[in-house]
Protein backbone atom coordinates (compact mmCIF):
# COMPACT_ATOMS: atom_id res chain seq x y z
CA UNK A 1 0.00 0.00 0.00
CA UNK A 2 1.27 3.49 -0.87
CA UNK A 3 0.08 7.03 -0.19
CA UNK A 4 -1.02 7.05 -3.82
CA UNK A 5 -3.34 4.07 -3.20
CA UNK A 6 -4.94 5.88 -0.27
CA UNK A 7 -5.30 9.08 -2.28
CA UNK A 8 -7.06 7.14 -5.04
CA UNK A 9 -9.56 5.72 -2.55
CA UNK A 10 -10.32 9.16 -1.07
CA UNK A 11 -10.62 10.63 -4.60
CA UNK A 12 -13.80 8.66 -5.23
CA UNK A 13 -15.67 10.12 -2.27
CA UNK A 14 -17.71 13.26 -2.65
CA UNK A 15 -17.83 16.66 -0.99
CA UNK A 16 -21.30 16.64 0.62
CA UNK A 17 -22.21 20.21 -0.44
CA UNK A 18 -20.94 20.16 -4.02
CA UNK A 19 -21.67 16.48 -4.65
CA UNK A 20 -18.45 16.22 -6.68
CA UNK A 21 -15.57 13.89 -5.91
CA UNK A 22 -12.58 15.04 -3.87
CA UNK A 23 -10.16 14.04 -6.61
CA UNK A 24 -11.70 16.32 -9.21
CA UNK A 25 -12.16 19.10 -6.68
CA UNK A 26 -8.45 18.86 -5.79
CA UNK A 27 -9.36 18.88 -2.10
CA UNK A 28 -6.96 16.14 -0.94
CA UNK A 29 -4.32 18.32 0.69
CA UNK A 30 -2.11 15.72 2.33
CA UNK A 31 -1.87 11.97 2.87
CA UNK A 32 0.85 10.63 5.12
CA UNK A 33 1.42 6.94 5.65
CA UNK A 34 3.40 5.98 8.76
CA UNK A 35 4.02 2.54 10.33
CA UNK A 36 0.93 2.55 12.56
CA UNK A 37 -1.17 5.39 11.31
CA UNK A 38 -2.37 7.31 8.32
CA UNK A 39 -2.81 11.07 8.54
CA UNK A 40 -5.11 12.75 6.06
CA UNK A 41 -5.82 16.44 5.54
CA UNK A 42 -8.96 16.75 3.49
CA UNK A 43 -10.52 19.98 2.23
CA UNK A 44 -14.26 20.25 2.61
CA UNK A 45 -16.79 22.94 1.70
CA UNK A 46 -18.79 22.95 4.92
CA UNK A 47 -16.71 22.24 8.00
CA UNK A 48 -19.90 22.10 10.05
CA UNK A 49 -21.61 19.58 7.81
CA UNK A 50 -23.68 17.10 9.83
CA UNK A 51 -22.52 14.25 7.64
CA UNK A 52 -18.78 14.54 8.38
CA UNK A 53 -18.86 11.82 11.02
CA UNK A 54 -20.49 9.49 8.54
CA UNK A 55 -17.95 10.44 5.88
CA UNK A 56 -15.09 9.71 8.28
CA UNK A 57 -16.55 6.28 9.05
CA UNK A 58 -17.00 5.49 5.36
CA UNK A 59 -13.52 6.66 4.38
CA UNK A 60 -11.95 4.69 7.21
CA UNK A 61 -13.87 1.57 6.27
CA UNK A 62 -12.97 1.85 2.57
CA UNK A 63 -9.26 2.41 3.25
CA UNK A 64 -9.09 -0.51 5.68
CA UNK A 65 -11.01 -2.95 3.55
CA UNK A 66 -9.24 -2.10 0.30
CA UNK A 67 -5.71 -2.00 1.67
CA UNK A 68 -5.85 -4.31 4.67
CA UNK A 69 -4.41 -1.56 6.87
CA UNK A 70 -5.33 -2.02 10.53
CA UNK A 71 -3.74 0.98 12.30
CA UNK A 72 -5.24 4.38 13.15
CA UNK A 73 -6.61 6.66 10.47
CA UNK A 74 -6.67 10.30 11.44
CA UNK A 75 -8.71 12.51 9.12
CA UNK A 76 -8.43 16.26 9.61
CA UNK A 77 -10.91 18.43 7.74
CA UNK A 78 -9.93 21.94 6.70
CA UNK A 79 -11.65 24.44 4.45
CA UNK A 80 -11.46 23.40 0.80
CA UNK A 81 -11.70 26.38 -1.51
CA UNK A 82 -12.23 26.14 -5.24
CA UNK A 83 -10.38 28.28 -7.70
CA UNK A 84 -12.45 30.89 -9.53
CA UNK A 85 -11.84 29.48 -12.95
CA UNK A 86 -11.61 32.50 -15.17
CA UNK A 87 -8.70 32.60 -17.60
CA UNK A 88 -8.49 36.40 -17.55
CA UNK A 89 -7.46 36.17 -13.90
CA UNK A 90 -4.26 34.27 -14.70
CA UNK A 91 -2.57 37.30 -16.24
CA UNK A 92 -3.11 39.48 -13.18
CA UNK A 93 -2.67 37.37 -10.05
CA UNK A 94 -2.21 33.73 -11.01
CA UNK A 95 -1.69 32.45 -7.44
CA UNK A 96 -4.86 34.07 -6.09
CA UNK A 97 -7.80 31.69 -6.24
CA UNK A 98 -10.58 34.15 -5.42
CA UNK A 99 -11.06 37.91 -5.26
CA UNK A 100 -13.96 39.35 -3.31
CA UNK A 101 -15.08 42.96 -2.95
CA UNK A 102 -16.38 43.97 0.48
CA UNK A 103 -18.69 46.81 -0.40
CA UNK A 104 -21.26 49.12 1.12
CA UNK A 105 -23.51 51.85 -0.15
CA UNK A 106 -22.69 54.20 2.71
CA UNK A 107 -19.66 54.96 4.85
CA UNK A 108 -19.59 54.21 8.56
CA UNK A 109 -21.65 51.02 8.40
CA UNK A 110 -18.73 48.93 9.65
CA UNK A 111 -17.39 47.67 6.32
CA UNK A 112 -13.71 47.84 7.32
CA UNK A 113 -14.40 46.33 10.73
CA UNK A 114 -16.14 43.44 9.04
CA UNK A 115 -13.37 43.07 6.44
CA UNK A 116 -10.67 42.64 9.11
CA UNK A 117 -12.71 40.33 11.31
CA UNK A 118 -13.76 38.24 8.33
CA UNK A 119 -10.13 38.02 7.20
CA UNK A 120 -9.11 36.96 10.71
CA UNK A 121 -11.92 34.39 11.04
CA UNK A 122 -11.05 32.87 7.65
CA UNK A 123 -7.35 32.72 8.57
CA UNK A 124 -8.28 30.85 11.74
CA UNK A 125 -9.99 28.26 9.52
CA UNK A 126 -6.63 27.69 7.74
CA UNK A 127 -7.66 29.74 4.73
CA UNK A 128 -4.85 31.76 3.11
CA UNK A 129 -6.17 35.31 3.15
CA UNK A 130 -5.00 38.62 1.70
CA UNK A 131 -6.63 41.99 2.22
CA UNK A 132 -6.40 45.12 0.07
CA UNK A 133 -7.49 48.26 1.85
CA UNK A 134 -8.73 50.37 -1.04
CA UNK A 135 -10.92 52.71 0.99
CA UNK A 136 -9.51 55.99 -0.30
CA UNK A 137 -11.68 58.04 2.07
CA UNK A 138 -10.28 56.49 5.22
CA UNK A 139 -7.83 53.64 4.96
CA UNK A 140 -8.30 52.44 8.53
CA UNK A 141 -7.20 48.83 8.27
CA UNK A 142 -3.55 49.29 9.34
CA UNK A 143 -4.89 50.78 12.61
CA UNK A 144 -7.50 48.04 13.04
CA UNK A 145 -4.77 45.42 12.60
CA UNK A 146 -2.24 47.27 14.80
CA UNK A 147 0.27 47.70 11.98
CA UNK A 148 2.86 50.46 12.16
CA UNK A 149 5.27 49.29 9.52
CA UNK A 150 5.26 49.59 5.78
CA UNK A 151 5.64 47.04 3.04
CA UNK A 152 9.18 46.21 1.99
CA UNK A 153 10.37 46.17 -1.57
CA UNK A 154 12.18 43.20 -2.99
CA UNK A 155 13.35 42.04 -6.40
CA UNK A 156 11.78 38.95 -7.89
CA UNK A 157 13.01 37.84 -11.33
CA UNK A 158 14.66 41.23 -11.77
CA UNK A 159 11.42 43.10 -11.10
CA UNK A 160 10.74 45.29 -8.04
CA UNK A 161 7.86 43.83 -6.03
CA UNK A 162 6.15 44.99 -2.86
CA UNK A 163 5.87 42.46 -0.05
CA UNK A 164 2.54 42.71 1.77
CA UNK A 165 2.70 43.33 5.52
CA UNK A 166 1.65 40.18 7.38
CA UNK A 167 -0.33 40.54 10.62
CA UNK A 168 -2.23 37.76 12.44
CA UNK A 169 -1.56 35.61 9.37
CA UNK A 170 -3.34 38.07 7.06
CA UNK A 171 -1.40 39.60 4.16
CA UNK A 172 -2.23 43.29 3.86
CA UNK A 173 -1.72 46.10 1.39
CA UNK A 174 -3.28 49.44 2.21
CA UNK A 175 -3.68 52.68 0.38
CA UNK A 176 -2.75 54.11 3.81
CA UNK A 177 0.79 52.77 3.35
CA UNK A 178 1.25 55.27 0.55
CA UNK A 179 0.79 58.34 2.76
CA UNK A 180 2.98 59.71 5.54
CA UNK A 181 1.60 59.88 9.10
CA UNK A 182 -1.55 62.01 9.30
CA UNK A 183 -0.97 63.56 5.90
CA UNK A 184 -4.23 63.97 4.01
CA UNK A 185 -4.33 63.05 0.36
CA UNK A 186 -7.23 63.80 -1.89
CA UNK A 187 -7.31 60.70 -4.01
CA UNK A 188 -8.49 61.69 -7.42
CA UNK A 189 -10.03 58.99 -9.57
CA UNK A 190 -7.09 58.11 -11.86
CA UNK A 191 -4.53 58.24 -9.05
CA UNK A 192 -6.55 55.98 -6.78
CA UNK A 193 -7.28 53.61 -9.65
CA UNK A 194 -3.62 53.30 -10.57
CA UNK A 195 -2.70 52.63 -6.91
CA UNK A 196 -5.28 49.86 -6.81
CA UNK A 197 -3.97 48.37 -10.05
CA UNK A 198 -0.46 48.44 -8.62
CA UNK A 199 -1.66 46.51 -5.58
CA UNK A 200 -2.67 43.76 -7.96
CA UNK A 201 0.22 43.82 -10.42
CA UNK A 202 3.25 44.79 -8.32
CA UNK A 203 2.63 43.00 -5.04
CA UNK A 204 3.99 39.57 -4.35
CA UNK A 205 0.79 37.89 -3.08
CA UNK A 206 2.06 34.42 -3.79
CA UNK A 207 -0.60 31.76 -3.13
CA UNK A 208 -3.92 32.94 -1.64
CA UNK A 209 -7.30 31.24 -1.32
CA UNK A 210 -9.13 34.54 -0.95
CA UNK A 211 -8.11 38.14 -1.53
CA UNK A 212 -10.58 40.58 0.05
CA UNK A 213 -10.89 44.17 -1.16
CA UNK A 214 -12.15 46.72 1.35
CA UNK A 215 -13.76 49.09 -1.13
CA UNK A 216 -14.63 52.75 -0.62
CA UNK A 217 -18.37 53.20 -0.02
CA UNK A 218 -20.61 53.89 -2.99
CA UNK A 219 -20.41 53.09 -6.66
CA UNK A 220 -17.51 55.11 -8.04
CA UNK A 221 -14.32 54.87 -10.11
CA UNK A 222 -12.57 52.42 -7.82
CA UNK A 223 -15.37 49.87 -8.13
CA UNK A 224 -15.25 50.20 -11.89
CA UNK A 225 -11.46 49.90 -12.03
CA UNK A 226 -11.56 46.79 -9.89
CA UNK A 227 -14.20 45.04 -11.92
CA UNK A 228 -12.34 45.90 -15.14
CA UNK A 229 -8.93 44.80 -13.89
CA UNK A 230 -9.81 41.40 -12.48
CA UNK A 231 -12.78 39.09 -12.86
CA UNK A 232 -14.03 39.14 -9.27
CA UNK A 233 -15.38 35.95 -7.75
CA UNK A 234 -18.06 38.05 -6.13
CA UNK A 235 -19.08 40.84 -3.80
CA UNK A 236 -20.20 40.91 -0.19
CA UNK A 237 -22.46 43.83 0.67
CA UNK A 238 -22.46 45.33 4.14
CA UNK A 239 -25.49 47.22 5.40
CA UNK A 240 -27.05 48.36 8.63
CA UNK A 241 -30.77 47.71 9.18
CA UNK A 242 -32.01 51.24 8.42
CA UNK A 243 -33.87 51.95 5.17
CA UNK A 244 -31.39 54.62 4.15
CA UNK A 245 -28.45 52.23 4.37
CA UNK A 246 -30.39 49.43 2.69
CA UNK A 247 -31.38 51.58 -0.24
CA UNK A 248 -27.69 52.37 -0.91
CA UNK A 249 -26.75 48.72 -0.39
CA UNK A 250 -29.24 47.80 -3.12
CA UNK A 251 -27.57 50.30 -5.47
CA UNK A 252 -24.25 48.58 -4.73
CA UNK A 253 -25.73 45.18 -5.52
CA UNK A 254 -27.21 46.48 -8.78
CA UNK A 255 -23.88 47.96 -9.83
CA UNK A 256 -22.11 44.62 -9.36
CA UNK A 257 -24.88 42.88 -11.27
CA UNK A 258 -24.32 45.23 -14.19
CA UNK A 259 -20.65 44.27 -14.40
CA UNK A 260 -21.45 40.54 -14.03
CA UNK A 261 -20.13 40.18 -10.50
CA UNK A 262 -22.37 37.96 -8.36
CA UNK A 263 -23.31 39.10 -4.88
CA UNK A 264 -22.18 36.22 -2.67
CA UNK A 265 -24.13 37.57 0.25
CA UNK A 266 -25.24 40.40 2.48
CA UNK A 267 -24.01 41.01 6.02
CA UNK A 268 -26.13 43.13 8.31
CA UNK A 269 -24.07 45.04 10.88
CA UNK A 270 -25.27 46.71 14.08
CA UNK A 271 -28.35 44.48 13.88
CA UNK A 272 -29.16 44.60 17.59
CA UNK A 273 -27.79 45.44 20.99
CA UNK A 274 -27.70 42.76 23.68
CA UNK A 275 -29.05 44.20 26.94
CA UNK A 276 -27.54 43.17 30.28
CA UNK A 277 -30.53 40.86 30.81
CA UNK A 278 -29.68 39.20 27.46
CA UNK A 279 -32.72 40.54 25.62
CA UNK A 280 -32.07 42.02 22.20
CA UNK A 281 -32.78 45.61 21.37
CA UNK A 282 -33.22 46.43 17.68
CA UNK A 283 -31.89 49.99 17.82
CA UNK A 284 -31.89 50.59 14.06
CA UNK A 285 -34.92 48.47 13.18
CA UNK A 286 -35.28 44.77 12.63
CA UNK A 287 -34.77 42.45 9.67
CA UNK A 288 -33.74 44.96 6.97
CA UNK A 289 -30.85 42.80 5.75
CA UNK A 290 -33.05 39.70 5.67
CA UNK A 291 -35.67 41.57 3.68
CA UNK A 292 -33.13 42.81 1.16
CA UNK A 293 -31.70 39.30 0.77
CA UNK A 294 -35.12 37.91 0.03
CA UNK A 295 -36.05 40.67 -2.36
CA UNK A 296 -32.82 40.29 -4.37
CA UNK A 297 -32.49 36.54 -3.95
CA UNK A 298 -29.07 36.72 -2.30
CA UNK A 299 -27.86 35.05 0.89
CA UNK A 300 -27.89 36.72 4.24
CA UNK A 301 -24.47 35.64 5.51
CA UNK A 302 -25.09 36.85 9.04
CA UNK A 303 -26.21 39.55 11.45
CA UNK A 304 -23.66 41.19 13.73
CA UNK A 305 -24.71 43.00 16.90
CA UNK A 306 -23.60 46.46 17.92
CA UNK A 307 -21.21 46.11 20.82
CA UNK A 308 -18.73 48.45 22.48
CA UNK A 309 -16.02 45.82 22.45
CA UNK A 310 -16.12 45.52 18.65
CA UNK A 311 -15.09 49.18 18.40
CA UNK A 312 -12.65 48.98 21.30
CA UNK A 313 -10.77 46.00 19.88
CA UNK A 314 -10.73 47.69 16.47
CA UNK A 315 -9.21 50.84 17.95
CA UNK A 316 -6.68 48.75 19.86
CA UNK A 317 -5.49 47.04 16.67
CA UNK A 318 -6.59 43.55 17.61
CA UNK A 319 -9.93 42.54 16.04
CA UNK A 320 -12.48 40.85 18.30
CA UNK A 321 -12.15 37.54 16.46
CA UNK A 322 -8.50 37.41 17.54
CA UNK A 323 -8.87 39.04 20.96
CA UNK A 324 -11.83 36.93 22.10
CA UNK A 325 -12.07 33.97 19.73
CA UNK A 326 -14.58 32.15 21.94
CA UNK A 327 -17.12 34.95 22.42
CA UNK A 328 -20.55 34.94 20.73
CA UNK A 329 -19.60 37.63 18.24
CA UNK A 330 -16.52 35.70 17.09
CA UNK A 331 -18.83 32.69 16.68
CA UNK A 332 -21.03 34.76 14.37
CA UNK A 333 -17.96 35.72 12.33
CA UNK A 334 -16.93 32.07 12.12
CA UNK A 335 -20.35 31.09 10.86
CA UNK A 336 -20.29 33.95 8.31
CA UNK A 337 -16.89 32.71 7.09
CA UNK A 338 -18.17 29.16 6.68
CA UNK A 339 -21.20 30.40 4.79
CA UNK A 340 -19.01 32.58 2.56
CA UNK A 341 -16.75 29.62 1.72
CA UNK A 342 -19.86 27.65 0.81
CA UNK A 343 -21.11 30.41 -1.49
CA UNK A 344 -17.67 30.75 -3.13
CA UNK A 345 -17.54 27.03 -3.86
CA UNK A 346 -21.10 26.82 -5.10
CA UNK A 347 -20.46 29.80 -7.36
CA UNK A 348 -17.16 28.36 -8.65
CA UNK A 349 -18.49 24.88 -9.27
CA UNK A 350 -21.48 25.96 -11.31
CA UNK A 351 -20.97 25.81 -15.03
CA UNK A 352 -21.48 29.25 -16.48
CA UNK A 353 -21.95 30.18 -20.11
CA UNK A 354 -18.74 31.50 -21.63
CA UNK A 355 -19.52 35.20 -21.95
CA UNK A 356 -16.61 35.80 -24.31
CA UNK A 357 -18.11 33.37 -26.81
CA UNK A 358 -21.58 34.84 -26.44
CA UNK A 359 -20.46 38.42 -27.06
Helical packing angle, 243-258 and 288-296, nearest 10°? 30
The residue among 163 and 307 lying less far from ligand ADP, judged by its C-beta, is 307
**Binding status of residue 189 toward ligand ADP by CB under 6 A:** no
Judged by CB under 6 A, which stretch of 70-78, 198-206, 288-296, 305-313 contacts ligand ADP? 305-313
Q: 76, 40 in Cβ contact below 8 A?
A: yes
The residue among 82 and 119 lying less far from ligand ADP, judged by its C-beta, is 119
**Binding status of residue 107 toward ligand ADP by CB under 6 A:** yes
Helices in 97-212 by DSSP H: which ranges?
A: 111-124, 141-144, 189-201
Q: What are phi and psi of 40, to 5 degrees?
A: -125, 135
Binding mask 257-276 for ligand ADP (x = CB under 6 A): ------------xx------
Query: CB of residue 113 vs ligand ADP: minimum separation in angstroms?
Result: 3
**Binding status of residue 220 toward ligand ADP by CB under 6 A:** no
**Binding status of residue 235 toward ligand ADP by CB under 6 A:** no
Question: How distant is the alpha carbon of residue 198 from its chain centre?
Answer: 21
**Binding status of residue 306 toward ligand ADP by CB under 6 A:** yes
Query: CB of residue 221 vs ligand ADP: minimum separation in angstroms?
Result: 18
Q: Find, among 218, 214, 286, the residue nearest to 253 by Cα.
A: 218
Judged by CB under 6 A, which stretch of 43-51, 244-252, 309-317, 338-346 contacts ligand ADP? 309-317
Per CB under 6 A, the list member of 71, 108, 190, 331 interacting with ligand ADP is 108
**Binding status of residue 219 toward ligand ADP by CB under 6 A:** no
- Distance between CA 43 and CA 207 in Å, rounded? 16
Count of residues for the chain? 359
Residue 273, C-beta contacts closer than 8 angstroms, at least 6 positions apart: 280, 281, 283, 305, 306, 307
Query: CB of residue 312 vs ligand ADP: minimum separation in angstroms?
Result: 8
Q: What are 38's strand-pairing partners?
A: 33, 73
**Binding status of residue 311 toward ligand ADP by CB under 6 A:** yes
Q: 126, 337 in Cβ contact below 8 A?
A: no
The residue among 99 and 269 lying less far from ligand ADP, judged by its C-beta, is 269
Residue 204, C-beta contacts closer than 8 angstroms, at least 6 positions apart: 154, 156, 161, 162, 163, 164
**Binding status of residue 109 toward ligand ADP by CB under 6 A:** yes
Q: Find, among 247, 271, 231, 259, the residue nearest to 114 by Cα.
A: 271
* CA atoms within 13 Å, Cβ hemisphere of 198: 16
Residue nearest to ligand ADP (CB): 110
Judged by CB under 6 A, which stretch of 30-38, 149-157, 248-256, 301-309 contacts ligand ADP? 301-309
The residue among 28 and 270 lying less far from ligand ADP, judged by its C-beta, is 270
Judged by CB under 6 A, which stretch of 32-40, 106-114, 181-189, 284-292 contacts ligand ADP? 106-114
Judged by CB under 6 A, which stretch of 187-195, 277-285, 304-312, 331-339 contacts ligand ADP? 304-312
Per CB under 6 A, the list member of 120, 210, 267, 304 interacting with ligand ADP is 304
- Distance between CA 278 and CA 301 in Å, rounded? 23
**SS3 of residue 79 by DSSP:** strand
Compute CA distances 206 → 94, 106, 161, 341, whole Å: 8, 32, 11, 20
Q: Which residues are near ligand ADP by CB under 6 A?
A: 104, 107-113, 140, 269-270, 304, 306-307, 310-311, 314
Amino acid sequence: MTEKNITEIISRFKDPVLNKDFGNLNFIKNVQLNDNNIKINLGITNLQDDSLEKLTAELTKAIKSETGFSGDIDIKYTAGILNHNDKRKENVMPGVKNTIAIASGKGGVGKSTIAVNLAAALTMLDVKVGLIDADIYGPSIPIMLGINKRPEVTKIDGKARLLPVIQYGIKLMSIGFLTQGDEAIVWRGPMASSALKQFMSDVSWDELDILLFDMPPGTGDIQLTLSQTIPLTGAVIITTPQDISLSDAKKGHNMFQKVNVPTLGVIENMSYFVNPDNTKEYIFGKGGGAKMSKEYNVNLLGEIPIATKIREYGDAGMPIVISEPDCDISGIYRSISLELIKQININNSTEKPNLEILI
